[in-house]
Amino acid sequence: MRRIDWAAGRGIFESDGKGLEWRRWGPPPGDAPTIALLHEGLGCVALWRDFPARLAEATGLGVFAWSRAGYGQSDPADLPRPLDYLSREAKILPRALDALGAREIILFGHSDGATIAAIHAGAHHDPRLRGLILMAPHFFTESMGLAEIAKAKTAFDTTDLKHRMAQHHRDAEATFRGWNDAWLAPGFARWNVAEVIEHWRVPVLAIQGLQDQYGTLAQIREIERRSRAPVTLALIDACRHAPHLEQPDRTLAAVADFIAGLQQVEINE
């Protein structure tokens, strides 16, 4: 696989036959560990907004973000998405990370991206992985979250949501339906991947907005109950599903402290 050219700053790389857009911030992989950002179910590179630049500045590490197939300006995804699409994304994640060429990686996922990162950490022995940051993760469905996803469908069909999404996604219709149709499929209510938590072997930071409309603290309590790896919690008040946008200073502070702790452990070792 051809590696990305960090000096270029942005571009397209190929993974599993799909061209994926990417962008980077901060020092290259040869100079520091790299934080790999995995976006949410309707996210993409552009929708991280200024957070990656602030993250690189706050931590001194490189930050790498890409849009998965079907998102942003990346190639289309194969639709409809199967009910195990998050596990399938985790299976191809290592090949996307190979394009980065980093020896040390911290996975930082939001929502769907957090679940993909969590599955990868539990199902694969990745010697590059130094830590796991999970923001608004979900390991199983909750009725309140499914109800909110159903409301999103109504909003997409009746408001300007499609137009707003089209500013960031090549095919807003396919992006939305691919995510929404999977979550609202009858069989998805039984989806549960919480067993991966028991297989983590690196320190974890779990970030959750206390007013998250898509998931409750039950997701975080499952981490506390099942993880054998060290877990740090950042529970943020006055915050819904996007802590990095709604409470960026508090989110950045929690991440910077966590990463400083990771680096201190490496020094002591």
Q: Express each pLDDT in 23-44 by its tens digit.
A: 999 999 999 999 999 999 999 9
Q: Tens of pLDDT along 99-120?
A: 999 999 999 999 999 999 999 9
What secondary structure letter does DSSP report for 137?
Answer: -
Distance between start and end Cα atoms, the chain: 33
**Does residue 257 surpass a pLDDT of 80?**
yes
- pLDDT digit string, tens, across residues 45-94: 999 999 999 999 999 999 999 999 999 999 999 999 999 999 999 999 99
pLDDT band at residue 263 using 50, 70 and 90 as cut-offs:
confident
* pTM of this prediction exceeds 0.95: yes
Extract the tokens encoding 139: 């390991």
Angle between helices 248-268 and 51-59 (to 10 degrees): 40
Task: Provide the 3-class DSSP secondary structure of residue 126.
Answer: coil
What is the mean pLDDT of the segment spanning 191-195?
Answer: 98
Segment 8-32 mean pLDDT: 96
Residue 269 has pLDDT above 90, yes or no: no
Domain range list for the chain: 6-268
Q: Helix 143-158 to helix 172-184 angle, to the nearest 10 degrees?
A: 150
Tens of pLDDT along 119-135?
999 998 899 999 999 99
CATH superfamily of 6-268: Alpha/Beta hydrolase fold, catalytic domain (3.40.50.1820)
Instruction: State the chain's mean pLDDT as an integer.
Output: 96
Q: Residue 268 has what pLDDT?
A: 44
Contact 109, 43 (CB under 8 A): no
Backbone φ, ψ for residue 208 (5° rounding): -145, 130
CA neighbor of 240 nearest in space, from 266, 219, 213:
213
Q: Which is nearest to 154 in space by CA: 186, 182, 176, 185? A: 176
Tens-place pLDDT, residues 213-233: 999 999 999 999 999 999 999
- The Cα 191–Cα 187 span in angstroms is 7
How far apart (Å, rounded) are the C-alpha atoms in residues 4 and 262? 26
How would you write 144-189 as a 3-class SS string?
HHHHHHHHHHHHHHHCCHHHHHHCCCCCHHHHHHHHHHHHHCHHHH
**pLDDT confidence band for 2 (50 / 70 / 90):** confident
- The Cα 109–Cα 229 span in angstroms is 17
